Structure 1
């Protein structure tokens, strides 16, 4: 499958109309239709369901749309970073969960971009599972993850910051009056918990391996939307401190007791060939 034809497919998927896509690509409609038909024959699948006015994607077409965008992003990323050794330029792709440790990444990136103005940074937000998926696909250079995380297949450095776990509650909730939250306090309380794979293990250990005693009403991968649920009184959210600004709001963060901290790591694929810009960034972060 040629990248040129993949671009044709993505244009048609975007426009949902052969004529409009052909116009945007500066091709004749018959030429574009022929290219798409040959792509379907090459892949052995039907990508489009053709209607009178608009076409729609089949299940196979939707899959190619998702992967096609990832492929072109990876090609663009690789092309941008193939520069001569003496020129530090290109793009650095960093993913991270919601953590105050991203401030260290921001500080390091500022130093990089001051020294090398041709460097650009692309940020992606997600939990550890999301970040590792993007790393495995080659779409990220680095990921900042909240531990515990299975880092066996990644190179990593541990960051100096730690995040503290606690409970996000409405200020009028009875638990908001407490200085700390103990395991017994959570019994019968509707809770939102993080979707990250290993977080439930950490919380379960804190509870004395009695996770089944919690009333879990939902989960989240990023905390902001969960905080809106907390504001509406749907439940409370087990989370880390400092992500939601509770100043001048009707929300309050109450830390867990016994104290439960999460360490942080920056990870990248083992034995990967890094761009010059990514290598410089890693060196600068290690120096910090």
Structure 2
């Protein structure tokens, strides 16, 4: 499978027309049709459903579109960083969930970009499972995740910030009168929980390894949308402190869990990864800010 042909395939998927894609690519229509046919024969699958006015993707075609985008993104990133290897420039890809630790990453990003104006920072927001997949596929340089990380796969630096777990609720709830939330308070409540594997394990441990006995009515991967469910009275969200505004005119409030449940945070990257000059400088700045030799 050639990179060039993957670009042809994506162009056709985007244009939904071989003739339009051929014009965009500056190819003849028969040449493009032949390339697509050879790709289907090479893979042994049908990628397109060819209609009278436009073509659409098969299920296999949709899968290949998503993978082709990731492959080409990695190719473009690698090519750019190799071309710019002699100077500190290029792209740094950082993934993270919703956490106060991202403020440190923002501070370091500002320092790097002030010193090296040709560096560009790309942030990806997602949960730990999504970040791990993108790190493993080389689509991210660094990820900000809740410790413990997989020490066999990743190098890591512990960050000083710790996030506190608690319960996000309507301020009219009877539980809002309490200073802390204990596990017995959650019995029978409609709960909204993170869908991250690691988080589910941590919460299960805090609840005595019987999370399945609680009434989970919804899950989330980023908290803002979950907070809207809380505001509308769908349920109570188990989440981290400080990510949703609960002051001023907000109708929500947050109460920490007791005993306290903290999330320790780390910045991770693949073991034996060869960083671009820009990514090296970023890592150096992380160590400098944390006073790590």
Q: Structure 1 residues 239-248 or 108-117, which shifts more?
A: 239-248
Q: C-alpha separation between the residues in 1 aligned to 2:112 and 2:32?
A: 44
Partner residue in 1 for 2:143: 143
Q: Is the 8 A contact 1:148 1:199 kept in 2?
A: no
Q: How far 1:199 moved relative to its partner? A: 1.4
Q: How far 1:212 moved relative to its partner? A: 3.0
Partner residue in 2 for 1:44: 44
Partner residue in 2 for 1:254: 255
Q: Is the 8 A contact 2:85 2:276 kept in 1?
A: no
Q: C-alpha separation between the residues in 2 aligned to 1:285 and 1:83?
A: 25
- SS of alignment partner, residue 287 of structure 2: helix
Q: Is the 8 A contact 2:98 2:243 kept in 1?
A: yes
TM-score, structure 1 as length reference:
0.96
Deviations 1:35-66 (A, max 9, x none): 11121122222111111111111122112111
Q: Is the 8 A contact 1:168 1:237 kept in 2?
A: yes
Q: C-alpha separation between the residues in 2 aligned to 1:260 and 1:110?
A: 31
Partner residue in 2 for 1:156: 156
Matched, 1:269 2:258: no
Q: C-alpha separation between the residues in 2 aligned to 1:64 and 1:85?
A: 31
Q: How far 1:138 moved relative to its partner? A: 0.5
Q: C-alpha separation between the residues in 2 aligned to 1:63 and 1:212?
A: 33
Partner residue in 2 for 1:171: 171
Q: Structure 1 residues 140-149 or 72-81, which shifts more?
A: 140-149
Q: How far 1:148 moved relative to its partner? A: 4.3
Q: How far 1:149 moved relative to its partner? A: 4.1
Q: Structure 1 residues 191-200 or 22-31, which shifts more?
A: 22-31
Q: How far 1:19 moved relative to its partner? A: 1.7
Q: Structure 1 residues 184-193 or 18-27, which shifts more?
A: 18-27
Q: C-alpha separation between the residues in 2 aligned to 1:84 and 1:72?
A: 18
Q: C-alpha separation between the residues in 2 aligned to 1:240 and 1:60?
A: 38
For structure 1, the residue ranges without an aligned partner over 5 or more in a row are none
Q: How does 1:202-241 map to 2 (within 5 A)?
A: 202-241=202-241
Partner residue in 2 for 1:103: 103
TM-score, structure 2 as length reference:
0.95
Q: How far 1:114 moved relative to its partner? A: 0.6
Q: C-alpha separation between the residues in 2 aligned to 1:191 and 1:149?
A: 26
For structure 2, the residue ranges without an aligned partner over 5 or more in a row are none
- SS of alignment partner, residue 246 of structure 1: coil
- SS of alignment partner, residue 198 of structure 1: helix
Q: C-alpha separation between the residues in 1 aligned to 2:226 and 2:151?
A: 27
Q: Structure 1 residues 81-90 or 196-205, which shifts more?
A: 81-90
Q: Structure 1 residues 173-182 or 236-245, which shifts more?
A: 173-182
Deviations 1:133-185 (A, max 9, x none): 00001100000012344443111010000000000101112212211111111
Q: C-alpha separation between the residues in 1 aligned to 2:226 and 2:152?
A: 30
Q: How far 1:86 moved relative to its partner? A: 4.0
Q: C-alpha separation between the residues in 2 aligned to 1:55 and 1:212?
A: 45
Q: How far 1:242 moved relative to its partner? A: 1.1
Matched, 1:181 2:184: no
- SS of alignment partner, residue 53 of structure 2: coil
Q: How far 1:266 moved relative to its partner? A: 0.5
Q: Is the 8 A contact 2:155 2:269 kept in 1?
A: yes
Distance 1:175 1:152, change over 3 A: farther
